Structure 1
Amino acid sequence: MPTTRLPSAAGCTLDDAGQDWDAVRVPRTVGASAVAILGSRCGAVVDDPLSKAVYFFTPVGTAARWDVAGTRALGQGAAVTIPPARRTEGHGPHWRVCPGDDGWITDPHALRAALEDSERAGWSA
Protein backbone atom coordinates (compact mmCIF):
# COMPACT_ATOMS: atom_id res chain seq x y z
CA MET A 1 0.00 0.00 0.00
CA PRO A 2 1.50 3.40 -0.95
CA THR A 3 2.18 6.07 1.63
CA THR A 4 -0.62 8.60 1.96
CA ARG A 5 0.50 12.20 1.50
CA LEU A 6 -2.29 14.69 2.09
CA PRO A 7 -1.07 18.29 1.55
CA SER A 8 -2.24 21.24 3.65
CA ALA A 9 -2.44 24.93 2.84
CA ALA A 10 0.63 25.46 5.07
CA GLY A 11 2.68 23.11 2.91
CA CYS A 12 2.68 20.25 5.43
CA THR A 13 1.75 16.70 4.49
CA LEU A 14 0.12 13.98 6.56
CA ASP A 15 2.26 10.85 6.05
CA ASP A 16 1.42 7.33 7.17
CA ALA A 17 3.58 5.68 9.80
CA GLY A 18 4.47 2.01 9.47
CA GLN A 19 5.61 2.25 5.84
CA ASP A 20 9.11 3.77 5.79
CA TRP A 21 9.30 4.55 9.51
CA ASP A 22 7.45 4.40 12.81
CA ALA A 23 7.37 7.46 15.05
CA VAL A 24 7.55 8.08 18.78
CA ARG A 25 5.58 11.05 20.15
CA VAL A 26 7.26 12.66 23.16
CA PRO A 27 6.33 15.76 25.23
CA ARG A 28 8.33 18.78 23.99
CA THR A 29 10.34 19.35 27.18
CA VAL A 30 11.45 15.74 27.35
CA GLY A 31 12.02 15.61 23.60
CA ALA A 32 14.23 18.71 23.65
CA SER A 33 16.38 17.14 26.33
CA ALA A 34 16.55 13.84 24.43
CA VAL A 35 17.66 15.65 21.25
CA ALA A 36 20.49 17.28 23.21
CA ILE A 37 21.52 13.96 24.78
CA LEU A 38 21.42 12.13 21.43
CA GLY A 39 23.48 14.79 19.63
CA SER A 40 24.73 13.45 16.29
CA ARG A 41 22.96 10.11 16.91
CA CYS A 42 19.59 11.87 16.52
CA GLY A 43 17.67 11.44 13.29
CA ALA A 44 15.01 13.85 12.05
CA VAL A 45 12.60 15.30 14.62
CA VAL A 46 9.34 17.15 13.98
CA ASP A 47 8.32 19.75 16.58
CA ASP A 48 4.58 20.44 16.82
CA PRO A 49 4.05 23.40 19.16
CA LEU A 50 0.26 23.10 18.97
CA SER A 51 0.25 19.58 20.41
CA LYS A 52 3.27 20.35 22.63
CA ALA A 53 5.01 17.25 21.27
CA VAL A 54 7.98 16.19 19.18
CA TYR A 55 8.13 13.17 16.90
CA PHE A 56 11.21 10.97 16.54
CA PHE A 57 11.34 8.62 13.53
CA THR A 58 12.36 5.03 14.23
CA PRO A 59 12.59 1.82 12.18
CA VAL A 60 9.34 0.17 11.09
CA GLY A 61 8.29 -2.29 13.79
CA THR A 62 9.41 -0.12 16.73
CA ALA A 63 5.82 0.78 17.62
CA ALA A 64 4.92 -2.86 18.26
CA ARG A 65 7.67 -3.16 20.90
CA TRP A 66 7.74 0.36 22.38
CA ASP A 67 6.72 0.68 26.05
CA VAL A 68 8.21 3.89 27.42
CA ALA A 69 5.86 5.66 29.84
CA GLY A 70 4.78 9.16 28.86
CA THR A 71 5.41 8.54 25.15
CA ARG A 72 3.28 7.16 22.34
CA ALA A 73 4.51 4.94 19.53
CA LEU A 74 2.93 5.40 16.12
CA GLY A 75 3.00 2.56 13.63
CA GLN A 76 0.71 1.25 10.92
CA GLY A 77 -2.66 3.00 11.08
CA ALA A 78 -1.22 6.28 12.45
CA ALA A 79 0.03 9.38 10.65
CA VAL A 80 2.42 12.26 11.35
CA THR A 81 2.29 15.81 10.00
CA ILE A 82 5.48 16.43 8.03
CA PRO A 83 6.53 20.06 7.51
CA PRO A 84 8.08 21.36 4.30
CA ALA A 85 11.82 20.80 3.89
CA ARG A 86 13.93 23.18 5.97
CA ARG A 87 11.01 24.80 7.87
CA THR A 88 12.73 25.11 11.26
CA GLU A 89 10.46 27.50 13.11
CA GLY A 90 6.89 28.72 13.32
CA HIS A 91 3.62 28.21 15.12
CA GLY A 92 2.83 24.98 13.27
CA PRO A 93 4.82 21.80 12.72
CA HIS A 94 8.47 22.39 11.87
CA TRP A 95 11.77 20.52 11.98
CA ARG A 96 13.60 20.57 15.31
CA VAL A 97 16.19 18.39 13.54
CA CYS A 98 16.03 18.40 9.73
CA PRO A 99 16.42 15.11 7.85
CA GLY A 100 20.04 14.69 6.89
CA ASP A 101 22.04 12.69 4.41
CA ASP A 102 21.89 9.73 6.80
CA GLY A 103 18.08 9.75 6.73
CA TRP A 104 15.38 10.25 9.28
CA ILE A 105 15.85 7.32 11.65
CA THR A 106 16.88 7.42 15.32
CA ASP A 107 17.97 4.12 16.86
CA PRO A 108 15.16 3.15 19.27
CA HIS A 109 17.60 1.85 21.90
CA ALA A 110 19.50 5.15 21.89
CA LEU A 111 16.19 7.05 22.03
CA ARG A 112 15.01 4.98 25.01
CA ALA A 113 18.29 5.65 26.85
CA ALA A 114 18.09 9.39 26.09
CA LEU A 115 14.50 9.53 27.37
CA GLU A 116 15.51 7.68 30.55
CA ASP A 117 18.43 10.09 31.03
CA SER A 118 16.04 13.02 30.52
CA GLU A 119 13.72 11.65 33.18
CA ARG A 120 16.61 11.15 35.64
CA ALA A 121 17.73 14.74 34.98
CA GLY A 122 14.31 15.94 36.10
CA TRP A 123 12.62 16.74 32.79
CA SER A 124 8.91 15.96 32.79
CA ALA A 125 5.87 16.36 30.61
Structure 2
Amino acid sequence: MPRSVGLSALAILGPRCAAAIEDPLTSSGVLYFFTLAGTSDTWAVENTAALPVGTVITIPPARRTEGPGAYWRVCPSDDSWLTDPDALAAAIADAFGPRVGEERPA
Protein backbone atom coordinates (compact mmCIF):
# COMPACT_ATOMS: atom_id res chain seq x y z
CA MET A 1 0.00 0.00 0.00
CA PRO A 2 1.13 3.58 -0.41
CA ARG A 3 3.50 4.71 2.32
CA SER A 4 1.22 7.47 3.65
CA VAL A 5 -1.71 5.09 4.08
CA GLY A 6 0.52 2.37 5.49
CA LEU A 7 2.04 4.65 8.12
CA SER A 8 -1.41 5.79 9.23
CA ALA A 9 -2.67 2.20 9.37
CA LEU A 10 0.42 1.17 11.32
CA ALA A 11 -0.20 3.92 13.88
CA ILE A 12 -3.86 2.93 14.20
CA LEU A 13 -2.99 -0.76 14.63
CA GLY A 14 -0.35 -0.07 17.27
CA PRO A 15 0.67 -3.32 18.99
CA ARG A 16 -1.78 -5.33 16.84
CA CYS A 17 0.58 -4.80 13.88
CA ALA A 18 3.00 -7.62 13.22
CA ALA A 19 5.92 -7.46 10.75
CA ALA A 20 5.90 -4.66 8.19
CA ILE A 21 8.44 -3.71 5.52
CA GLU A 22 8.93 -0.25 4.06
CA ASP A 23 10.43 0.02 0.59
CA PRO A 24 11.28 3.66 -0.12
CA LEU A 25 12.79 2.87 -3.52
CA THR A 26 9.42 2.38 -5.22
CA SER A 27 7.87 5.40 -6.97
CA SER A 28 6.22 6.87 -3.85
CA GLY A 29 7.28 4.35 -1.23
CA VAL A 30 5.21 1.39 -0.11
CA LEU A 31 4.58 -0.59 3.04
CA TYR A 32 4.08 -4.33 3.04
CA PHE A 33 2.10 -6.04 5.81
CA PHE A 34 2.08 -9.81 6.19
CA THR A 35 -1.26 -11.61 6.48
CA LEU A 36 -2.44 -15.21 6.16
CA ALA A 37 -1.83 -16.89 2.82
CA GLY A 38 -4.99 -16.61 0.75
CA THR A 39 -5.97 -13.16 2.03
CA SER A 40 -5.55 -11.84 -1.52
CA ASP A 41 -8.46 -14.05 -2.65
CA THR A 42 -10.98 -11.84 -0.83
CA TRP A 43 -9.07 -8.58 -0.27
CA ALA A 44 -11.00 -5.60 -1.65
CA VAL A 45 -9.62 -2.56 0.16
CA GLU A 46 -9.53 0.57 -1.94
CA ASN A 47 -6.12 1.98 -2.91
CA THR A 48 -4.28 -1.12 -1.71
CA ALA A 49 -3.33 -4.42 -3.28
CA ALA A 50 -2.97 -7.84 -1.71
CA LEU A 51 -0.15 -9.72 -3.33
CA PRO A 52 -0.96 -13.34 -4.13
CA VAL A 53 1.02 -16.32 -2.85
CA GLY A 54 4.20 -16.63 -4.88
CA THR A 55 4.79 -12.89 -5.31
CA VAL A 56 8.42 -11.96 -4.74
CA ILE A 57 9.29 -8.96 -2.57
CA THR A 58 12.59 -7.92 -1.04
CA ILE A 59 12.95 -9.17 2.53
CA PRO A 60 15.55 -7.07 4.32
CA PRO A 61 18.19 -8.59 6.57
CA ALA A 62 17.12 -9.32 10.14
CA ARG A 63 16.87 -6.18 12.27
CA ARG A 64 17.60 -3.77 9.40
CA THR A 65 15.52 -0.79 10.49
CA GLU A 66 16.58 1.91 8.05
CA GLY A 67 17.49 2.26 4.40
CA PRO A 68 18.86 2.54 1.88
CA GLY A 69 16.54 0.04 0.30
CA ALA A 70 13.84 -2.02 1.94
CA TYR A 71 13.88 -2.19 5.74
CA TRP A 72 11.74 -3.38 8.62
CA ARG A 73 9.29 -0.69 9.73
CA VAL A 74 8.15 -3.30 12.31
CA CYS A 75 10.58 -6.17 12.89
CA PRO A 76 9.06 -9.64 12.95
CA SER A 77 8.89 -11.27 16.33
CA ASP A 78 9.54 -14.90 17.13
CA ASP A 79 5.85 -15.55 17.63
CA SER A 80 4.22 -13.46 14.91
CA TRP A 81 4.80 -12.22 11.40
CA LEU A 82 1.11 -11.90 10.56
CA THR A 83 -1.28 -8.99 11.02
CA ASP A 84 -4.97 -9.86 11.22
CA PRO A 85 -6.38 -8.91 7.78
CA ASP A 86 -9.70 -7.67 9.24
CA ALA A 87 -7.88 -5.39 11.68
CA LEU A 88 -5.65 -4.17 8.85
CA ALA A 89 -8.64 -3.43 6.59
CA ALA A 90 -10.35 -1.51 9.42
CA ALA A 91 -7.17 0.48 10.12
CA ILE A 92 -6.88 1.39 6.44
CA ALA A 93 -10.52 2.51 6.38
CA ASP A 94 -9.86 4.66 9.46
CA ALA A 95 -6.71 6.05 7.83
CA PHE A 96 -8.73 7.25 4.84
CA GLY A 97 -11.46 8.63 7.08
CA PRO A 98 -15.12 8.94 6.15
CA ARG A 99 -16.08 9.77 2.58
CA VAL A 100 -18.00 12.94 1.82
CA GLY A 101 -21.60 12.36 2.86
CA GLU A 102 -20.75 9.21 4.81
CA GLU A 103 -21.42 9.11 8.52
CA ARG A 104 -19.31 7.27 11.04
CA PRO A 105 -21.16 4.62 13.05
CA ALA A 106 -22.09 5.76 16.56
Residues 42-92 of structure 1: per-residue CA shift (max 9 Å, x gap):
010000001110000000110111011111111123112100000000120
Question: What is the aligned-residue identity percentage?
Answer: 57
Q: TM-score, normalised by structure 1?
A: 0.74
Task: Give 1:56-75 correspondences, 5 Å limit.
Answer: 56-75=33-52
In the alignment, the residues of structure 2 paired with residue 37 and residue 46 of structure 1 have an alpha-carbon distance, to the nearest angstrom, of 16
Do structure 1's residue 55 and structure 2's residue 32 form an aligned pair? yes
The CA deviation at 1:102 is 2.4
Distance 1:47 1:39 in 2: 16
TM-score, normalising length: structure 2: 0.87
Q: Which amino acid aligns with 2:9?
A: A
Higher percent of residues as strand: 1
Spell out structure 1 runs of 4+ moving beyond 3 A: none
Count of residues in Structure 1 that have an aligned counterpart in Structure 2:
97
Which of 4, 8, 33 lines up with 2:8 in the alignment? 33
Q: 1:27 to 1:61 in 2, by over 3 A?
A: same
Q: Which runs of 5+ in 1 are unaligned?
A: 1-25
RMSD, matched Cα: 1.4
